[in-house]
Amino acid sequence: MVILVILQVVLLPHFSLHGIKPNLVLLVVVVWSLMYGAREGSIWALMCGILLDLLSGAPLGAASLALLVAGLLAGLRLWRTIHAQWFLPALVAAASVAHDLVLMLLLQIGGHPLIWWDDLLRVVLPGALLSGGLAVLAYPLVRRMPSRPEAEEEASSAAPRQPVLW
């Protein structure tokens, strides 16, 4: 998790094309939430968000809140019942838009000037398409990541814990 956040803050800004860059932290949080639910996704969102808040220049708490919103939306039980392969990129793209809108709103409240339509069309929507496309590659990697031991104990006492998609 720490390595992922450091990659996001230090390395990925150098791979930006017209302000569009992959958001690996968002991608992992959303895919994790889809696979294991809103509760575990929100834990990842808060841990990664706090690290992002500490390492980035954004207002403190902005990344945490934006990731939490995206993770909670992706972890809704409704989405976990749909078993279509095409659905993963679409939901990751939608969660990316929600994340970016929350972040833009918080930046606007914090006094940063934004041109909403321009930012939406030039950064948010292309970034969402990039995140959605990367979701297909990220899913197998996230699926191999170990989960929290407490979550496995809870899951073994309830129902079999299986990733929902694919």
In a domain, 162, yes or no: no
- Say if residue 146's pLDDT is above 90: no
Residue 51 has pLDDT above 90, yes or no: yes
Query: Under the phi-then-psi rule, with left for phi > 0, alpha for psi from -120 to 50, and beta for the rest, what region is 19?
Result: left
Q: Which residues pair with 20 in a beta bridge?
A: 17
Containing domain of residue 71, as a range?
Answer: 7-12+22-148
Model pLDDT for residues 68-87, shown as the tens digit of each residue: 999 998 888 766 666 555 67
Sign of CA dihedral 122, 125, 131, 133: negative
Residue 99 lies in a domain: yes
CA dist list (Å): 25 to 7, 36, 139: 9, 16, 13
Q: Is 96 within the bounds of a domain?
A: yes
- Given a cut of 50, is residue 166 above it in pLDDT? no
123 in a structural domain = yes
Token pair of 118 as six digits = 């321009």
Q: Convert the pLDDT of each residue in 115-138 to its tens digit.
A: 888 989 988 999 999 988 888 887
Q: Quick one: average pLDDT of 52-67? A: 89
Residue 35 belongs to some domain of the structure: yes
d(CA 154, CA 146): 15
Q: Which residue has the higher pLDDT, 157 or 25?
A: 25
Does the residue 160 lie in any domain?
A: no
Is residue 80 a contact partner of residue 33, using CB atoms and an 8 Å limit?
no
Q: Torsions phi, psi of 17, nearest 5?
A: -120, 105
Is the pTM higher than 0.95? The answer reads no
Tokens of 161: 């814990």
How far apart, in whole angstroms, are the C-alpha atoms of residue 76 and residue 106?
23
In a domain, 154, yes or no: no
When divided into structural domains, the chain yields a total of 1
Residue 43 lies in a domain: yes
